[in-house]
Structure 1
Amino acid sequence: MIEKILLADSGTGNTEAMMKVLMDIPLIQRAAVTVLHVVPSQVSAETMASKWEEGGRTLATAIQNLNLDPGKVTAVLREGDPKDVVVQVADETDASLIVMGSRGLQGLKAILENSVSQYVFQLASRPMLLVKDDLYTIRPIKRVLVAMDKSDSAKEGLNIALTLLRDIKGGELTLVHSVSSLKAKPFDITSIDANQDPVLVAAAEEARKYGVTCKLAAPEGKAGQRICQLAEDRNIDLLILGSPDRRPTIAKGLPDLDKVLGESLTDYVRVYAPCPVLITRMKG
Structure 2
Amino acid sequence: MINKILVAVAGRGLCEEMLNMLMDLPSLQQASITLLHVVPSQVTAEGMSVKLEEGGKILAQAVQSVKVDPNRVNPRLKQGDPKDIVCQVADEENADLIIMGSRGLGRLQAVLENSVSQYVFQLTSRPMLLVKDDTYVKKLRRVMVAYNSSPEAQECLKTAIDFVKEIQGAQLIIAHVNKDLSGKSAEDYTATAENDPVLAPAVAQAKQMGISYRCVTGTGKPGPEICRIAEDLNADLLLLGSPDRRPTVAKSFIDIDRLLGNSLSDYVRVYANCPVLLTRHAG
Q: What band does the TM-score fall into relative to the shorter chain?
A: over 0.9
Deviation at 1:101?
0.1
Q: Which residue of 2 aligns with 1:39?
A: 39
Letter of the 2:193 partner, please give it.
Answer: T
Q: Does the 8 Å contact 2:13/2:62 carry over to 1?
A: no
1:59 and 2:59 are equivalent in the alignment:
yes
Deviation at 1:181?
4.3
Question: Which deviates further from its counterpart, 269-278 or 172-181?
Answer: 172-181
Distance 2:193 2:137 in 1: 29
Distance 1:85 1:201 in 2: 42
1:110-129 equivalences in 2 (<5 Å): 110-129=110-129
Question: Could you tell me which of 181, 184, 187 is aligned with 2:189?
Answer: 184
Letter of the 2:77 partner, please give it.
Answer: L
Q: Does the 8 Å contact 1:189/1:215 carry over to 2?
A: no
Distance 2:59 2:95 in 1: 19
Q: Does the 8 Å contact 2:145/2:160 carry over to 1?
A: yes
Q: Does the 8 Å contact 2:236/2:275 carry over to 1?
A: yes
Distance 1:263 1:67 in 2: 37
Question: Which deviates further from its counterpart, 210-219 or 246-255?
Answer: 210-219
Q: RMSD in angstroms over aligned alpha carbons?
A: 1.5
User: SS of 1:240's equivalent?
Assistant: strand
TM-score (norm 1): 0.94
1:48 and 2:57 are equivalent in the alignment:
no
1:263-274 equivalences in 2 (<5 Å): 263-274=262-273
Deviation at 1:258?
1.3
Letter of the 2:264 partner, please give it.
Answer: L
Question: Which deviates further from its counterpart, 34-43 or 199-208?
Answer: 199-208
Q: Which residue of 2 aligns with 1:235?
A: 234
Deviations 1:208-242, CA, capped at 9 Å, x for gaps: 22222111111111111111111111110000000
Q: Which residue of 1 aligns with 2:77?
A: 77
Question: Which deviates further from its counterpart, 25-34 or 122-131?
Answer: 25-34
Following TM superposition, the consecutive aligned residue runs of length 4 or more in structure 1 with deviations greater than 4 angstroms are none
Distance 2:266 2:108 in 1: 11
Distance 1:121 1:151 in 2: 20
TM-score (norm 2): 0.94
Q: Which residue of 2 aligns with 1:21?
A: 21
Q: Which residue of 1 aligns with 2:95?
A: 95
Distance 1:61 1:23 in 2: 18
Question: Gaps (5+ residues) in structure 2?
Answer: 182-187
Distance 1:159 1:222 in 2: 25
Distance 2:77 2:260 in 1: 32
Deviations 1:114-156, CA, capped at 9 Å, x for gaps: 00000000011011000001x1311100101101122222111
Distance 1:189 1:9 in 2: 43
Q: Which residue of 1 aligns with 2:105?
A: 105
Q: Does the 8 Å contact 1:13/1:101 carry over to 2?
A: no
Deviation at 1:189?
5.3
Q: Does the 8 Å contact 2:111/2:260 carry over to 1?
A: no
User: SS of 2:35's equivalent?
Assistant: strand
Q: Does the 8 Å contact 1:126/1:281 carry over to 2?
A: yes
Q: Does the 8 Å contact 2:138/2:236 carry over to 1?
A: yes
Distance 1:215 1:41 in 2: 49
1:167 and 2:166 are equivalent in the alignment:
yes
Deviation at 1:99?
0.2
Question: Gaps (5+ residues) in structure 1?
Answer: none
Letter of the 2:94 partner, please give it.
Answer: D
